[in-house]
Chain A
């Protein structure tokens, strides 16, 4: 048996081992891809629910009176008062039954102005404390006041210690762990290859020793590779050609993604969820991005806009929300607003050391393009979602559209101009020559590109 036949046998061994290894690799890659696609598992995390909402029947009136008081309080008082000791618009009412006489309270509630005018010192003190803003007279009967006071005195337990509700939490598994698994697999398989090579050499040496011929085949893995290459030049050339053209195609594909940040999804310093605000609460986009109607930029709202609601909504109910697959406390995120504003929610006073929030800008157009929001929102009457996608479903905002020039001009070609009831267009079209009119309006619709939406200088100047 000469050397070459030995190698043939070996190569058969090789083949089966290589095949096994490559099969393993293929499988693992397949698994990795599959799992990346399906790891979005929804898990229902049930936060503990403090369901000890037994109402205490403490006062003589009992539960009914308290419940009636609760209803009345929510309808008439809650807009300005809390049952705790925190200030809302007026003072918190905890302990008001001990602090004031009932007669005084009835007088104050039904007509605070009269009580102040009568020269009552306590009434005057409160009036002064709250910047001379009187409490409007309330249309409630003495019985109603009784019920409200009973409610303030002994509110149901569930409201003293606020219950944490069940929240549905989506936990997304990190796909980067799959990458580590893959790298680990490659290392393990590489090691395996190394040991297989070692045993191949030792077997070949033993075979050579048995036959009495010196072993001078390749020993190291590298030598084995060189041996293979030198014996398979045609194949190597084919591989090089395939790799070259494959690489070229990859490079071309890659070149088209340069500067196209579609899907850019940075986490913001305050975990603001558009899903909660625009989706669940149904707040119009324009409420916060109010400059989109008037200006080039849609505007990142300044914190005073946040405070229009979050002065009252402080997240003290302890609920959580999901942002980028992770759970966050509403209270902690809202506290960040207060911190940036140097605002003290207890005294409702603003300090003199506010700091800006460094929001991360998601949509960045290059400087050589001009884009105006008002032109699209006010004049063009486009919905925000046309370009920004279903923002009301995004907790982390991401760039939905590619914002490439192709994307712009395609939209300009398809979008019809709203000419109905616009005297300008009626006048303009009546003055057109028949030939031009046929060219522009012949297809029964007027699109943006036909009124200059494809002019270079409209966007580049």
Chain B
């Protein structure tokens, strides 16, 4: 008698164990947390809801506040250089005449520029610079009016202005690329696709003075 019960009951136990294991996993959910005191920061962290900070959970007034903020008005980030030209056609022409690449050309710089071009430009302008990027080939974007080729009559200043503000269908890439990176990309485009003799002399100081002057002018008029 004992043996028969033993058989059935041991089977039942096994079944219960299998069920308990298979039914526990929660779909798409987070794993359980235990004593999460040190998981959460008491200070503001990027992309963390203010209401989720340590010691502030449960404070409804802090919830759903955007964590990404704009810089305080009238301040500029360290190392940032204000751009003296406005987003209009007149300044596009002006920038084209006045702006010169402040970074002196070298092969290393061109290599860096190529890397950046591969991240930020290639899906439209393509590996050859002729506008054969993956987005154009997949017909998400129309063929580009600009093809980087020798003799293309666009000055480096205009290129910089275009990357900064965008032109036509191209949007502004100022939030993704620092000014230095923009100039590096321009070096790559001009040396790689337009076969231009690159500028190897540094014109940095001239640019800075000019920018300060232009900014002063711009603030005067405001």
Contacts and interface: CB of A to CB of B under 8 A. Distances in A.
B90 A132 contact: yes
B138 A280 contact: yes
Nearest to B178: A294
Contact residues of B: prevailing secondary structure: loop
Interface stretch (A197-205, A306-314, A442-450): A306-314
B120 to A, nearest CB: 6
Contact of B169 (A18, A131, A312): A312
Given A287-B119, A356-B66, A264 B28 contact: yes
Contact of A302 (B8, B11, B175): B175
Contact of B15 (A22, A179, A267, A286): A22
Contacts of B23: 179, 182
B31 A259 contact: yes
A78 to B, nearest CB: 4
B29 A264 contact: yes
Contact of B39 (A259, A283, A312): A259
A339 interface: no
A290 B138 contact: no
B68 A284 contact: no
B95 to A, nearest CB: 14
Contacts of A175: 27
Nearest to A297: B46
Contacts, number: 184
Interface string B170-201: 11110111100000000000000000000000
B119 A307 contact: no
Interface in A1-51: 7-8, 11-12, 14-15, 18-19, 22, 25-26, 29, 32-33
A55 B98 CA distance: 51
B64 to A, nearest CB: 7
A282 B123 contact: yes
A78 B134 contact: no
B144 A257 contact: no
B140 A286 contact: no
A111 B15 CA distance: 83
Q: Is the interface on chain A under 10, 10 to 19, 20 to 34, or 35 or more residues?
A: 35 or more
A313 B141 contact: yes
B118 interface: yes
Given A29-B18, A290-B175, A239 B64 contact: no
A7 B23 CA distance: 37
Nearest to B27: A176
Given A132-B89, A281-B138, A361-B48, A235 B144 contact: no
Nearest to A308: B171
Interface string B46-69: 111000001000000000101010
Nearest to B54: A367
Interface string A90-106: 00000000000000000
Contacts of A307: 171
A325 B156 CA distance: 47
A358 interface: yes
A77 B33 CA distance: 57
A460 to B, nearest CB: 10
Nearest to B16: A243
B133 to A, nearest CB: 8
B219 interface: no
Given A239-B9, A281-B135, A361 B171 contact: no
Contacts of A208: none
A405 interface: no
A254 B21 CA distance: 11
Contacts of B21: 250
A157 interface: no
A259 B20 CA distance: 21
B169 A79 contact: yes
Contacts of A33: 22
Contacts of B172: 304, 308
Interface in B1-40: 1-2, 4-13, 15, 17-23, 27-34, 36, 38-40
A224 B172 CA distance: 79
B88 interface: yes
Interface string A411-425: 000000000000000
A305 interface: yes
B145 A266 contact: no
Contacts of A19: 7-8, 11
Contact of B135 (A131, A309, A358): A309
Given A284-B118, A297-B47, A304-B175, A232 B11 contact: no
B47 to A, nearest CB: 5
B169 A88 contact: yes
Nearest to B65: A356
Interface string A181-216: 010001000000000000000000000000000000
B141, B166, B176: most-surrounded residue (chain A CB, <10 A): B176
B168 interface: yes
B81 interface: no
Given A235-B6, A287-B120, 8 more contacts: A14-B8, A29-B22, A259-B32, A264-B30, A294-B178, A309-B171, A356-B66, A367-B40
Interface of A: 7-8, 11-12, 14-15, 18-19, 22, 25-26, 29, 32-33, 74-76, 78-80, 88-89, 131-134, 136, 175-176, 179, 182, 186, 228, 231-232, 234-235, 239, 242-243, 246, 250, 254, 257-262, 264-267, 280-284, 286-287, 290, 294, 296-297, 300, 302, 304-305, 307-309, 311-313, 356, 358-359, 361, 364, 366-368
30 contacts: A8-B1, A15-B4, A26-B11, A74-B142, A75-B143, A79-B142, A79-B143, A88-B169, A132-B88, A175-B27, A179-B23, A182-B19, A234-B2, A239-B9, A239-B10, A239-B13, A250-B21, A257-B32, A259-B33, A262-B31, A282-B123, A284-B120, A304-B172, A304-B175, A305-B176, A308-B170, A309-B140, A309-B141, A313-B140, A366-B39
